[in-house]
Structure 1
Amino acid sequence: MQPSLQTDRYSSIHRRRDWRVWWRLTRPHTLTAAFVPVCIGTVLALHETAIHISLFIAMLIASLLIQAATNMFNEYYDYKRGLDSPESVGIGGAIVREGIHPKTVLYLAVALFAVATLIGAYICMNSSWWLALIGSICMAAGYFYTGGPVPIAYTPFGELAAGFFMGLVIILISFFIQTGEVTKTAILIAIPIAILVGAILLANNIRDLDRDKEKGRKTLAILVGRNNAIRILAGMFAVSFIWMTVLAFSHIVSFWTMLVFFSVPKAVAAAKGFIGKTKPIEMMPAMKATAQTNTQFGFLLAVGLLISHWL
């Protein structure tokens, strides 16, 4: 009886460990870059029309799947190019640390893309088939971020690509499938979210600067240097808050959207957390704070938009 209990306990622990490995493979701290834009685009659409819950859920799931698949392609190609090692810091490295077969990660990423494509077909059937082209371009950008002969991640344009596709485009698609149009207000509100999504990538590149430089990457952080990259990160936070202030005082959005300023302490913690740090492990809290800034800013913006709609 006792050996059986021990075996069951071991199996339970092993299953929990496996579950955590697969969960970490999705890089959950980055999933807010998909969740936040969908919510904001949908809440913004509420000012124009009634919301189709099924389209909102479909868009949310498809965006999360594409983000998770992009992270898995990243995992696979970082391994193939020798960027990941058992000593690498961060949530990546499931292949080198956990023993997951590289092809398993690749096939899983492709499978997630396939499911997202099916969900995308449903969205197109209920909105516009032009979204099939836009969605395909978004998925291609996700793949070519680390895949292909010249990965976007190896260039200074990673932050721009992430902000554009995961911030601006997702918000506008989420808004369009509900309203059938894209407005100037939707574009203006999407811009600070795009900036903060790009900031998540910049924070990651600041942390990995030394390793990426050794492997031949030419990221923005490498080109401008660590100190200037931190200044740019702080500037991205500042521009996002200033942008919302201008929109509010221009009466483009309600003053309730100024709730985003409650996320300022997290942005300050993120920027300060990188100062004077050179070891990747020391910068992990700052990286986490950067992702949390995006989450808090986006959540508070959505709340502000909701309140202004109700009032």
Structure 2
Amino acid sequence: MSAPVEGAAPRATPAQWVEGARPRTLPAAVSPVVAATGVAAYTGGADLPVALLALLVSLALQVGVNFANDYSDGIRGTDAVRVGPLRLVGSGLARPATVRAAAFACFALAGVAGLALVVLTGHWWLLAVGVACVLAAWYYTGGRRPYGYAGLGEVFVFVFFGLVAVCGTGYVQTGHVDAALLLTAVWVGCLTTAVLVANNLRDLAGDAAVGKRTLATRLGDRGTRLFYVGLVVVAALALVGVAALTTAWVLLALLALLLLAGPVRAVLGGARGRDLIAVLKATGLAGLAASLVSALALVLA
């Protein structure tokens, strides 16, 4: 794979830009909003325009962080040996500055949608939460001391794509955070974090070779595999808790987690490299399916 050259003419096609945005990660942005809106609907507080704005914020942040990671990893050279999806900077298909600008454009879109959300709901203190989300997105692999290189990526994913995204979406619709919403944040956060764990397990050898100290490189191969399974188990238990607090129909969402039977076997069976790409995809889709089923059950209840 060729090294990125700052002055080289960009060669990425529109299709490659779409691939560089990593659309397979988008379920991680949709799931929190869908699941939280289901809980809001159960209490009679669902607000569709507010939910759609929250969804736009979440999607823009997800694509923004994907481009930001592409840029930061690319200029550091940590994408030089890679098994996963196309990286625009690391492959030399786009100028680093162009990819960085794409990331900032996404963050700006998230900021505009977030401002509209704040104006609509009147919760001005959420502006600080929005700023924190953008900073977390950028400094995951950006800046002089990226926390993603310090083994903290999973913690921040759980916090921002679980607790913040779910509780924030529910709060702007109902004005409060209850136990059912908090448990929903836990199971959504666990499944989203499991996607990152599978990703880092796939890249474990390459990351270790270039000194990228992800949690996977710290836990080691076996520890990372057990961590993935543990996240799935905790997600299932939290779903049961939501059902106990709301309606038993939420238990149907556990059927969506059956999609993870194969991935769990693959992870425990020692799958590596490209074999883990299917695990990534299935984990994201299982989280989205569980969110849809849970939300539908709560709406109908």
1:298 maps onto 2:291 in alignment? yes
Residue number in structure 1 paired with 2:63: 68
CA distance in structure 1 between the aligned counterparts of 2:257 and 2:49, rounded to whole angstroms: 34
1:36 maps onto 2:31 in alignment? yes
Residue number in structure 1 paired with 2:161: 166
1:62–1:264 distance in 2 versus 1, CA, 3 Å: closer
Instruction: Tell me by how many angstroms 1:98 deviates.
Output: 6.1
Bigger Rg over Cα: 1
Residue number in structure 1 paired with 2:212: 217
1:252 maps onto 2:245 in alignment? yes
2:42 alignment partner, SS class: coil
- For 1:236, give the aligned amino acid: L
Work out which of the residue numbers 90, 93, 96 in structure 2 matches 1:99: 93
Kept after mapping to 1: 8 A contact 2:70/2:87: yes
Kept after mapping to 2: 8 A contact 1:204/1:287: yes
Residue number in structure 1 paired with 2:118: 124
**Alignment coverage as a number of residue pairs:** 289
Kept after mapping to 2: 8 A contact 1:38/1:171: yes
Kept after mapping to 2: 8 A contact 1:35/1:64: yes
- For 1:67, give the aligned amino acid: Q
Residue number in structure 2 paired with 1:229: 224
| Per-residue CA distance 1:86-128 (angstroms, 9 max, x = gap) | x522124122336111111100110111121111111111221
CA distance in structure 1 between the aligned counterparts of 2:37 and 2:242, rounded to whole angstroms: 19
CA distance in structure 1 between the aligned counterparts of 2:247 and 2:44, rounded to whole angstroms: 18
State TM-score, norm by structure 1: 0.88
Q: Which of the pair has the greater relative contact order for Cα pairs under 8 Å at 6+ separation?
A: 2
CA distance in structure 1 between the aligned counterparts of 2:55 and 2:135, rounded to whole angstroms: 18
1:181 maps onto 2:160 in alignment? no
Residue number in structure 1 paired with 2:195: 200
Identify the range of structure 1 (137-146 vs 221-230) with the bigger mean alpha-carbon deviation.
221-230
- For 1:108, give the aligned amino acid: A
| Per-residue CA distance 1:232-264 (angstroms, 9 max, x = gap) | 11111111112222443xx31211110122123
1:158–1:29 distance in 2 versus 1, CA, 3 Å: same
1:108 maps onto 2:102 in alignment? yes
Instruction: Tell me by how many angstroms 1:278 deviates.
Output: 6.1
| Per-residue CA distance 1:42-90 (angstroms, 9 max, x = gap) | 22111233533222211111110011000100000110111113x5221
CA distance in structure 1 between the aligned counterparts of 2:55 and 2:271, rounded to whole angstroms: 36
CA distance in structure 2 between the aligned counterparts of 1:118 and 1:212, rounded to whole angstroms: 35
CA distance in structure 1 between the aligned counterparts of 2:242 and 2:57, rounded to whole angstroms: 30
Work out which of the residue numbers 287, 290, 295 in structure 1 matches 2:280: 287
1:94 alignment partner, SS class: coil
State TM-score, norm by structure 2: 0.90
Instruction: Tell me by how many angstroms 1:229 deviates.
Output: 1.0
1:48 maps onto 2:13 in alignment? no
Kept after mapping to 2: 8 A contact 1:38/1:170: yes
Kept after mapping to 2: 8 A contact 1:21/1:98: no
Identify the range of structure 1 (191-200 vs 38-47) with the bigger mean alpha-carbon deviation.
38-47
CA distance in structure 2 between the aligned counterparts of 1:281 and 1:160, rounded to whole angstroms: 25
Identify the range of structure 1 (270-279 vs 167-176) with the bigger mean alpha-carbon deviation.
270-279
- For 1:302, give the aligned amino acid: A
Work out which of the residue numbers 4, 14, 22 in structure 2 matches 1:19: 14
Instruction: Tell me by how many angstroms 1:274 deviates.
Output: 2.7
Kept after mapping to 2: 8 A contact 1:256/1:307: no
Kept after mapping to 2: 8 A contact 1:273/1:285: no
- For 1:293, give the aligned amino acid: A
Work out which of the residue numbers 235, 238, 252 in structure 2 matches 1:243: 238
| Per-residue CA distance 1:140-179 (angstroms, 9 max, x = gap) | 1111111112212112221111011011111111111111
The 5 Å alignment of 1:143-162 reads 143-162=138-157
Kept after mapping to 2: 8 A contact 1:49/1:178: no
Please list every run of 5 or more consecutive structure 2 residues that lacks an aligned counterpart in the other structure.
1-11
CA distance in structure 1 between the aligned counterparts of 2:152 and 2:45, rounded to whole angstroms: 37
Identify the range of structure 1 (63-72 vs 23-32) with the bigger mean alpha-carbon deviation.
23-32
